[in-house]
Amino acid sequence: GESVGLHLPTLSVQEGDNSIINCAYSNSASDYFIWYKQESGKGPQFIIDIRSNMDKRQGQRVTVLLNKTVKHLSLQIAATQPGDSAVYFCAETPGFQKLVFGTGTRLLVSP
């Protein structure tokens, strides 16, 4: 099945820093993208979404940027906190309704 089977890259930051997590998506037909946060032992949790008619969307301490030209998505977390430590996944909707996840990134925040 469609999957990401690679070992997860890790981003280590200090508390208070801004974090940027990147994701390359695969299908130029995708028109809806979501970032999920997954803490150890839990299911993924929605963070923020963006549609393909936008290139930027802001939430509380988070911003998602979409570059359709190079099929790139990024998640920016402002003033990163230890509670932000988790694995972050981007997801896209190629074709129709299916939600396909990209390679996750482990974020480690040091106090």
Partner 1 sequence: GAGVSQSPSNKVTEKGKDVELRCDPISGHTALYWYRQSLGQGLEFLIYFQGNSAPDKSGLPSDRFSAERTGGSVSTLTIQRTQQEDSAVYLCASSLAGARNTEAFFGQGTRLTVV
Q: Which residues bind partner 1 (CB under 8 A)?
A: 1-8, 31-32, 34, 36, 41-46, 49, 89, 93, 96-104
Place of tokens 């396909």: 100
Whether 107 and 87 have beta carbons less than 8 Å apart is answered as yes
Q: Which is nearer to partner 1, 17 or 101 (CB)?
A: 101
Supply φ then ψ for residue 83, to 5 degrees: -70, -10
What values do phi and psi take at 84, rounded to 5?
Answer: -85, -10
Q: Minimum distance from CB of 79 to partner 1 (Å)?
A: 24
**Is the separation of the CB atoms in 109 and 84 below 8 Å?**
yes
Nearer to partner 1, 42 or 69 (CB): 42
Nearer to partner 1, 3 or 111 (CB): 3
CB of 7 or CB of 69, closer to partner 1: 7
Pair 9, 103: CB distance under 8 Å = yes
Q: How far is the CB of 40 from partner 1 (least distance, A)?
A: 11
Smallest separation (angstroms) from partner 1 to the CB of 101: 4
